[in-house]
Amino acid sequence: MNTYCGCPVIRVVPPFCHQTYQQCTILDGPPRIPVKCPKPPCRSLFRKFFLRGDIPISRYYGPKAYQKFINWHVPPNKLMYQLYLPLFFDGLCERTFPYREFARHGVRDMIAAATEKQLLCCLPMLILPAKRALNSKDPDVIIATMRALQQLVQAGPWIGRCLVPYYRQLLPMLNLFRDTNANIADKIDFRGGHRLGDVINVTLNILEVTGGKDAYLNIKYMVPTYESCVLNR
């Protein structure tokens, strides 16, 4: 037994080693996995196509520039949605200026100018870019992706129902951040409804309302803590 001034020396040893059977040892716990740490930013296809000049947009500097960020060289409704809308969704994972603003404003403008048929044709192509943005674990990126999904399912009566089969790809990451609203006690939260947990709850409610009769069961399967906003009225 190791002693120092007549007192035993306590050692901390890692788990699953032969030293755990020795005296005066304390078992060290397993290493903690940072499950909520954001992943390092990656270079998206949107940035590659934008720098190459394949996306017909530029920065808008006219009047009311605080409301309009993109100057479209071609009207959004004249573009090929199967090509450009997945590219803008892929840019939602961008975290640097100006690619982040170009992607988010581009998604908003293209969905607002599209018809339901155009969105339904390119809906399967939006799942992987949206999943990649959600898996980045960056709160700002997740909120932007949730806003885009909200606008997407509200653009037509059939889009929300057609999105139900893809809940297994989109919703698993929401379990990790659904209850991340910080308790600020008696302080004032100036962000209002822009906190991550609030945006996720609102998005799940919209998905249930627009997804039809099978939406709640599919959401409940992927997010077990979710409570229906339709059945509990």
- Coil, helix or strand at residue 11: strand
- The answer to whether 153 and 203 have CB atoms below 8 angstroms apart is no
pLDDT value, residue 35: 66
Query: Do 199 and 99 reside in the same domain of the chain?
Result: yes
Q: Do 39 and 92 fall within a single domain?
A: yes
Q: Pick 125 or 198 by higher pLDDT.
A: 125
CATH of residue 118's domain is 1.25.40
For residue 37, the 8-state DSSP code is S
In this structure, the answer to whether residues 109 and 122 fall within a common structural domain is: yes
Same domain, 87 and 27: no
Q: Which residue has the tokens 């170009």?
A: 102
Q: Is 212 contained in some domain?
A: yes
CA distance 200 to 208: 12
pLDDT at site 38 = 74
Measured distance CA(143)–CA(52) in Å, rounded: 28
Are 212 and 174 in a shared domain? yes
The pLDDT of residue 159: 87
Q: Are 24 and 11 in contact (CB under 8 A)?
A: yes
Q: Are residues 43 and 89 in the same domain?
A: yes
C-alpha span between 134 and 142 (Å, rounded)? 5
Give residue-wise pLDDT tens across range 173-225. Answer: 888 877 776 556 666 565 555 677 788 888 888 988 888 888 888 888 888 88
pLDDT in tens, 26-61: 766 666 666 667 777 778 888 888 888 888 888 878
pLDDT reported for residue 4: 40
pLDDT of residue 13: 72
Give me the number of domains the chain comprises. 2
| pLDDT (0 to 100) of residue 3 | 47
Q: Is residue 145 part of a domain?
A: yes
Q: Does 134 map to a domain?
A: yes
Q: Are residues 55 and 148 in the same domain?
A: yes
Note the pLDDT of residue 94. 87
Structural domain boundaries, residue 52: 32-179+193-222
Query: Percent of the chain having pLDDT more than 90?
Result: 4
**Does 55 share its domain with 99?**
yes
Instruction: Give pLDDT, residue 58.
Output: 84
Please write the tens of the pLDDT for every residue from 131-173.
999 888 888 888 899 999 999 998 888 888 888 899 888 888 8
Determine the Cα–Cα distance for residues 115 and 103; give it in Å rounded to an integer.
20
Residue 89 φ/ψ, nearest 5 degrees: -65, -35
Q: Is the pLDDT of residue 121 over 70?
A: yes
Instruction: Provide, rounded to the nearest whole percent, the portion of the chain with pLDDT above 70.
Output: 80
How many degrees, rounded to 5, is the angle at CA 125 between CA 120 and CA 128? 135
Is the residue at 232 inside a domain? no
Q: CA torsion, points 84, 42, 126, 99, in degrees to nearest 10?
A: -40
Q: Are residues 4 and 58 in the same domain?
A: no
One domain, residues 90 and 120 = yes
Inside any domain, residue 166: yes
Tell me, yes or no, whether 77 and 162 share the same domain.
yes
